[in-house]
């Protein structure tokens, strides 16, 4: 009977397009095999097998048989059997999900070694030290990653062996030392795992495979998936690959290479190499590596072949490639390749370089970058003058590898737990370690920057920091990091400890004691003045990509702006109008007393007097904004705060009145205000007297605002301007509310036209921010000329919680438990709130086909949300001025289409 599902693929059976099934490592190993590159033979267990295991708790019925078939074929090809006593076949077991994921199970090398086969390996290699070094590595990796033994137990035993030898280097341990260490490691396994290290090679392999499956749901893996928004149901593949050895002698080694600099995008030879080393030695930062360029002197033949392979891979993948390789006695072997992670600046530079090389087109260049990367490029950088001053004052204390660019200033912490705790308390921290490992992931996420004293551009810290867009300086060897004493010692007797402030420059690799001032980035300066400095490759790349994205996008991008200055800046940043002008911000400060008097007014005359005082102030506000956005649409939202925001605190006011009465003082104004506050007091002001309800119950308020808007527009027309006014009525729940306010606005418009003699054209629409408004959008569209989705409040009313209250109360717990992958206020809840947006858009346009649709919540600047709004067919998104460039880029990407996975 034929098998229903194929769970195992030989490397030669796959391709790079099979990442869903074979994971990233497996698909790329298959692709390199098909390209006839030197890949050690092996096979991949699919993600289907992982999902089946996680669902049932045991491996699929056919999996063991399939693995045996492929293992037998591998043994036949290699001419030896797994763990064969006289000449063992050894394999590595590596996890490999569709996306590169720190937190998955680390590689286990040298599977197949046991007390007998280690002697066969020694005999065949002619190197007893190598054989026992490989065996101790297997026990150490297997014990840590498969049996769950704390790696410190092995590290302590290794350190003790080196102390006994009087050395700091692993390489100084001879065969006898390593033979004894193997026995020590085996004792550690018995003590801490309650079982002996398995001697059966197949049991070793099967247990490692199972551990890979289970690592999909480790805390670190879940944390990273949540951070990077990777689906939880993908599962991981498992790669079983015949071993090649970089730890045979000094004519062997292992390395990591990039086809371009992942930090800057510059073309050249980038990477690290370590002689007489195996596997994770390079990225773990255990020994300091040499630059990849030094390999040319060490082994010219292997270096030349590696350069040829790197060129082949970059041209084939049409992108920066990240490569792992081993040299075994002069023979080059390729262990992995993938499209490499890079910094934001490198992403833009490389995309344009590849266009100029004819490898991709501009559409693809736009797909290759993201709004999140553009936002990183807009972060401030250190002021060059301040850096020079800090250097002259001896505050420059060290220089390391510029692993991931940016400017980061914060207080020093030495462990992840402290980093997370202090970050939650609102403190900005820099995580300082000798080197990082996967256990540091949550601290790296919490920190503003990472500083290590060991490792290079391919170390764990560098790779993970680049992927997360975190500033990172690696390999600052002048610094001696003592995590137990929680202090760092530097040159010239400099010392700093936990809580001290340091500044790290991920672009230059410099580390400063104290706070170094920051300035706008050149990308922000470019957006501010529109000038392209042709000598700045990054700015040129940003300009070219933004120009293409702007030409491709369908949706326009507006800004949320409440002042002429904000409006002017938004326009400089490329905004095509204002999607939200919040008028409540215009009633604060000195004007608040006018609003208080308006609320206290007992008669129509008093109310009219206060409105008359507010009118010219409002008119001038709107005139300035319309002037800054001349010729572009400006959506002005009528007053929409909870009324309590304009009233004194009830407790404070009560005390003041009581004290005055006790003293026999006359405080008639305070007493009247207290009576008004009691009358208008609400248990839940956000769902009380606000928005359209204010306009209905406070006569003249919305009419005054509408008059100020329309008079400002009339004045602009007289001055030669072209105002495009859109008046938005907030918090509408049914069409009757809207029609009541719209009728008043139309009447005001007639009066202003009559008084000014100016023909005014404007739109009256509403903000959709209540579920009922979304569900009755067809009725509301009969009267409204545009909809603007207020997704902040729509999220609150759909979920039934107040953002300000719940973010402090329980959001962190929800995120930690995976109930939320990301805050619904940060990225749109597509399934819930997004469905209401889609329904409202469809219903609204069913009654009014030309209905203009936009979004004015801050989701308008979130990359994932922008793509959803494109799919729904909105006409524009609106966000804060600083996020306008991000929204422009993502709107273009959403039209062109994001890259294939």
CB neighbourhood size of 361 (10 A): 12
The Cα–Cα gap between 738 and 780 comes to: 8
DSSP string, 398-464: EE-EEEE-SEEEEEEE-SHHHHHHHHHTT--EEEEESS--GGGHHHHHH-SEEEESS--TTSHHHHH
Q: Could you confirm whether 581 is annotated as catalytic?
A: no
Kindly state the DSSP code that residue 685 receives in the 8-state scheme: G
What is the 3-class SS of 492-549, one letter each residue?
HHCEEECCCEEEEECCCCEEEECCCCEECCHHHHHHHHCCCCCCCHHHHHHHHHHHHH
Angle at 133 between CA 131 and CA 138, to 5 degrees: 95
3-state SS, residue 478: coil
What is the 3-class SS of 80-128, one letter each residue?
CCECCCCCCECEEEEEEECCCCCCCCCCEEEECCCCCHHHHHHHHHCCH
Q: Which residues have CB under 8 Å from 693's CB, separation 6+?
A: 731, 737
Q: Burial, 821: exposed, middle or buried (Cβ in 10 Å; 0-12, 13-18, 19+)?
A: middle
The Cα–Cα gap between 470 and 430 comes to: 10
The Cα–Cα gap between 327 and 303 comes to: 10
Alpha helices in 166-280 (DSSP H): 175-193, 201-215, 219-228
Q: How far is CA 279 from CA 94, 100, 309, in A?
A: 11, 17, 20
Identify the H or E element spanning 327: strand 321-328
Q: Which residues on adjacent β-strands are paired with residue 854?
A: 788, 876
Q: Could you confirm whether 867 is annotated as catalytic?
A: no
CB neighbourhood size of 540 (10 A): 17
What is the 3-class SS of 272-306, one letter each residue?
EEEECCCCCHHHHCCCCCEEHHHHHHHCHHHHHHH
The Cα–Cα gap between 452 and 418 comes to: 17
The Cα–Cα gap between 499 and 419 comes to: 11
Nearest of 381, 467, 470 to residue 419 by alpha carbon: 470
Q: Taking each helix axis from N to C terminus, what angle separates 701-718 and 604-628, rounded to the nearest 10 degrees? A: 40
The Cα–Cα gap between 251 and 127 comes to: 13
Sign of the four-CA dihedral 874, 876, 877, 883: positive
493: left (phi over 0), alpha (psi -120 to 50) or beta: left
Q: Which of 50, 70, 153, 460 is catalytic?
A: 460
- Sheet of 331-339, strand order: 290-291, 267-275, 253-260, 321-328, 331-339
Angle at 384 between CA 383 and CA 385, to 5 degrees: 90
Q: Which residues on adjacent β-strands are paired with residue 273?
A: 255, 290
The Cα–Cα gap between 424 and 580 comes to: 31
The Cα–Cα gap between 158 and 188 comes to: 12
- Residues for the chain: how many in total? 901
Is residue 555 within 8 Å of residue 876, measured between CB atoms?
yes
Q: Which of 321, 472, 581, 856 is catalytic?
A: 856
Q: Which residues have CB under 8 Å from 359's CB, separation 6+?
A: 315, 318
The Cα–Cα gap between 192 and 147 comes to: 9
Residues serving a catalytic function are 460, 856
């Amino acid at each position: 009977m034929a098998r229903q599902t194929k769970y195992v693929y030989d490397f030669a059976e796959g391709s790079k397009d099979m990442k869903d099934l074979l994971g990233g490592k497996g698909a790329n190993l298959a692709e390199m095999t098909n390209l006839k590159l030197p890949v050690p033979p092996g096979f991949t267990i699919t993600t289907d097998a992982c999902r089946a295991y996680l669902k049932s708790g045991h491996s699929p019925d056919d999996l063991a048989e399939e693995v045996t078939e492929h293992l037998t074929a591998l043994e036949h090809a290699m001419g030896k059997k797994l763990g064969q006593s006289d000449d063992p076949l050894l394999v590595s077991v590596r996890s490999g999900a569709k996306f590169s994921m720190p937190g998955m199970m680390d590689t286990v090398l040298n599977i197949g070694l046991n007390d007998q086969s280690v002697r066969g390996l020694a005999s065949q290699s002619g190197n007893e030290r190598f054989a026992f070094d490989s065996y101790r590595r297997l026990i150490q990796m297997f014990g840590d990653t498969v049996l769950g033994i704390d790696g410190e137990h092995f590290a302590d035993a290794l350190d003790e062996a080196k102390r006994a030898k009087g050395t700091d280097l692993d390489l100084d341990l001879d065969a006898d030392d390593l033979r004894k260490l193997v026995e020590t490691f085996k004792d550690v396994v018995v003590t801490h795992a309650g079982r002996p290290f398995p001697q059966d090679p197949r049991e070793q392999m099967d247990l490692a495979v199972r551990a890979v499956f289970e690592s999909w749901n480790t805390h670190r893996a879940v944390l990273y998936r949540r951070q990077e928004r990777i689906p939880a149901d993908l599962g991981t593949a498992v790669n079983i690959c015949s071993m090649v050895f970089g730890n045979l002698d000094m004519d062997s080694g292992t390395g990591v290479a990039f086809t371009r600099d992942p930090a800057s995008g510059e073309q050249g030879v980038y990477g690290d190499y370590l002689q007489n080393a195996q596997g994770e030695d390079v990225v773990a930062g255990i020994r300091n590596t040499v630059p990849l360029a030094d390999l040319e002197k060490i082994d010219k033949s292997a270096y030349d072949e590696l350069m040829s392979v790197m060129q082949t891979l970059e041209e084939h993948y049409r992108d920066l490639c990240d490569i792992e390789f081993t040299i075994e006695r002069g023979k080059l072997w390729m262990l992995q390749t993938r499209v490499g992670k890079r910094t934001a600046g490198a992403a833009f530079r490389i995309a344009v370089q590849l266009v100029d090389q004819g490898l991709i087109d501009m559409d693809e260049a736009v797909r290759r970058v993201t709004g999140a990367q553009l936002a990183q490029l807009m972060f401030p950088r250190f002021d060059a003058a301040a850096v020079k001053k800090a250097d002259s004052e001896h505050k420059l204390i060290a220089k390391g590898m510029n692993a991931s660019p940016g400017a980061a200033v914060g207080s020093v912490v030495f462990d992840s737990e402290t980093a997370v705790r202090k970050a939650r308390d609102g403190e900005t921290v820099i995580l300082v370690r000798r080197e990082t490992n996967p256990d540091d992931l949550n601290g790296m996420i919490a920190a503003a920057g990472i500083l290590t004293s060991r490792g290079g551009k391919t170390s764990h810290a560098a790779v993970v920091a680049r992927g997360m867009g975190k500033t990172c300086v690696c390999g600052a060897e002048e610094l001696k990091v003592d995590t137990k004493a929680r202090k760092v010692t530097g040159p010239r007797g400099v010392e700093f400890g936990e809580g001290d402030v340091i500044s790290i420059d991920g672009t230059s690799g410099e580390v400063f004691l104290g706070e170094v001032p920051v300035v706008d980035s050149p990308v922000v300066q470019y957006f501010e003045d529109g000038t392209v400095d042709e000598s700045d490759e990054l700015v040129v790349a940003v300009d070219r990509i933004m120009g293409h994205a702007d030409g491709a996008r369908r949706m326009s991008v507006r800004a949320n702006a409440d002042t002429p200055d904000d409006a002017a800046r938004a326009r400089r940043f490329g905004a095509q109008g204002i999607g939200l002008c919040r008028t409540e911000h215009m009633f604060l400060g000195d004007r608040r007393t006018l609003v208080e008097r308006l609320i206290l007014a007992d008669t129509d005359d008093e109310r009219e007097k206060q409105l008359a005082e507010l009118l010219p102030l409002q008119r001038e506000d709107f005139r300035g904004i319309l002037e800054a956005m001349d010729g572009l649409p400006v959506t002005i939202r009528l007053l929409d705060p909870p009324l309590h925001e304009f009233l004194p605190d009830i407790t404070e006011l009560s005390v003041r009145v009581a004290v005055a009465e006790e003293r026999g003082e006359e405080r008639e104004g305070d007493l009247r205000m207290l009576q008004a506050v009691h009358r208008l007091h609400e248990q839940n002001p956000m769902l009380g007297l606000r928005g359209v309800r204010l306009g209905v119950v406070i006569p003249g308020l919305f009419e005054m605002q509408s008059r100020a808007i329309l008079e400002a527009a009339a004045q602009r027309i007289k001055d030669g301007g072209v105002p495009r006014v859109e008046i938005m009525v907030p918090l509408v729940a049914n069409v009757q509310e809207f029609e009541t306010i719209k009728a008043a606005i139309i009447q005001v418009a007639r009066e202003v036209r009559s008084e000014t003699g100016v023909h005014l054209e404007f739109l009256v629409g509403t903000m959709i921010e209540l579920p009922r408004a979304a569900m009755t959008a067809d009725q509301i569209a009969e009267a409204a000329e545009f909809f603007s989705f207020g997704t902040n409040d729509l999220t609150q009313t759909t979920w039934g919680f107040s953002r300000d209250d719940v973010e402090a109360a329980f959001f962190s717990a929800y995120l930690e438990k995976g109930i939320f992958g990301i805050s619904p206020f940060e990225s749109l809840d597509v399934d819930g709130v997004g469905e209401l947006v889609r329904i409202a858009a469809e219903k609204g346009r069913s009654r009014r086909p030309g209905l203009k649709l936009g979004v004015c919540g801050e989701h308008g600047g979130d990359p994932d949300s922008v793509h959803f709004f494109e799919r729904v067919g909105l006409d524009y998104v609106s966000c804060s001025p600083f996020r306008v460039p991000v929204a422009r880029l993502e709107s273009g990407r959403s039209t062109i289409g994001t890259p294939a996975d």
